[in-house]
Amino acid sequence: MRSNSWTPEKPEFNQIKQKLLEYYVTMNYAKSQLSINAFERVARSLYVPNSQQSHSYNDSPLPIGHGQTISAPHMAFMECDALDIKPGEKVLEIGSGSGYHASIAAEMCAPSTTCPKGWEPLTDYYDDSIYDQYSSSPGAVITIERLKPLVGFAQQNIEKAGYADRIRVIHGDGTIGFEEEAPYDKILVTAAGPEIPDTLKKQLKINGKLIIPVGSKNFYQELILLSRQDKNKWHQRNIGGVVFVPLIGKHGFDG
């Protein structure tokens, strides 16, 4: 793990953030200690437009411009926990958006090792002693965004929040992945495609996992978890119904 720290949440959001985390634990949305710690550490208010600041901890998607949204906070728990992201892993994200989801993944695969001065956990659920059991090899996140304005928005937010050393933001077509850094331990897709792109499946390590919403372009989709068991052997599990913005690109909609 790296010797780094992050930017803490603005104090005015602490109470509602605390209540939201307690709700997630009660409802079993928050399943791992790594994701709980990441939620405490990553300041969601740094990833939303100024016009949406007061809604930072609403448990709902928020508009970030260009027809895109930042997903509801519980989706970060649902997807990252389903992937079982661990320290030391390399994660590919398709659809950077605001950069929030990538930062949650980065805090799980490359945890911060120092705390900002005076920072204290919001809840008793936080526990940083878990990091002792993991390898010191740092993980990383590569995130791809097709919309140029959002590339800049995500990069700016990631830098403000203190995750620029762990996240690489790339402008491009996420449906073709990023062969240069393949294979990946985990692949996280934050937009819904008509099917699982073969290009992404091929960039996944053996025993790696990929999560993607699959279904119609503008309505209901199923969140699919795909595990690669061998070169040509896969296991697929349906996690449940979701609604995401469409995955656009060569192997998505309008391809």
Q: State the catalytic residues.
A: 71
| CB of 247 closer than 8 Å to CB of 189 | yes
Q: Helix, strand, coil shares of the chain as percentages rounded to 5?
A: 35, 25, 40
Residue length of the chain: 255
Measure the CA–CA gap between 16 and 97, rounded to whole angstroms. 23
User: Nearest CA to 178 among 140, 149, 215?
Assistant: 140
User: Nearest CA to 86 among 123, 47, 37?
Assistant: 37
Which tokens is 51 given?
A: 């016009």
User: Nearest CA to 114 among 185, 46, 167, 165?
Assistant: 165
DSSP track, 133-191? GS-SS--EEEEEESSHHHHHHHHHHHHHHT-TTTEEEEES-GGG--GGG--EEEEEE-S
| CB of 177 closer than 8 Å to CB of 210 | no
Q: Which residues contact 178 (CB under 8 A, 6 or more apart)?
A: 92, 142, 144, 170, 172, 203
